[in-house]
Amino acid sequence: MSKQQKKKYWEFKASAVEGEGDLYIYGDIVSWQWDDDDTSANSFKRDLDALGDISRLNLYVNSPGGSVFEGVTIGNIIKRHKAYVIANIDGLAASIASVIVMAADEVRMPRNAMMMIHNPWTFTWGNAAELRKAADDLDRIGGSMKESYLSKTGDKLTPEKLAELLDAETWLSAQECLDYGLCDVVEEANQAAACVSQELFAKYRNVPKDIAAKLNSPEAPQASGNDEETAAYLQRIRETSGLEIQNLNSYLGGIING
């Protein structure tokens, strides 16, 4: 696939208001690399810098999550930007998408939007020592994610309660997010539907019934353990796992030194 054919999961737009820019993160958050200088994170930063000297960035999110390593990097890029960032959860901010939202200065949610938080997980292989290292790395990534949530919530959410929510893979309403300090403003309900990715939601245990109903509707493609769609998905995981592991040390270094 050529570079021009690679679809980004983000889109930057110049705002109609002078000094502002708009960023849309819709769909699955993925990691890719063309060469040593062109990764998705580098492309993201170049696109953000191309907006120029903006004082406000409007972030719009509707995503089921994806690559934890990619999301941590994107969140750090947004957090370091000098613009005042307002995140708008148009439908759903799940998994690592919720961590990206935590990088904003202000988070707004329509009353019918949702957020899902859980502990990070990954695909890995190797001997016992390598598997233990992978588990340790996940603990460190998880610790960074917890700090992202807690730095946003202040005294509204204790570390103990957060750990409970993460362990349970918790789906939160806008009001619950407001109560826990994960968002700042609850707005009127809107018509934006939470984005549905069957491949990604298949790994979640506690998907709300209304979202599960969409996945199981006659119009939705059904996945099974031996169908072509699932086989293709697993193949993509195998193909991208190497890149994820290569990126891990640089991401962890940024977490430790950031």
Give the domain 3-257 fold.
2-enoyl-CoA Hydratase; Chain A, domain 1 (3.90.226)
Tell me the per-residue pLDDT of 146-171, one tens digit each, with 9 for 90 and over: 999 999 999 999 999 999 999 999 99
Instruction: State the catalytic residue, choosing from 40, 63, 118, 144.
Output: 118
Our answer to whether residue 95 is catalytic in this structure is yes
Evaluate whether 90 touches 117 at the Cβ level (below 8 Å).
no
- pTM: predicted TM-score of the whole model, two decimal places: 0.76
Domain limits, the chain = 3-257
Tell me the per-residue pLDDT of 73-128, one tens digit each, with 9 for 90 and over: 899 999 999 999 999 999 899 999 999 999 999 999 999 899 999 998 777 789 99
In angstroms, rounded to a whole number, what is the distance separating the alpha carbons of residues 248 and 234?
A: 20
Instruction: State the catalytic residue, choosing from 95, 98, 144, 148.
Output: 95
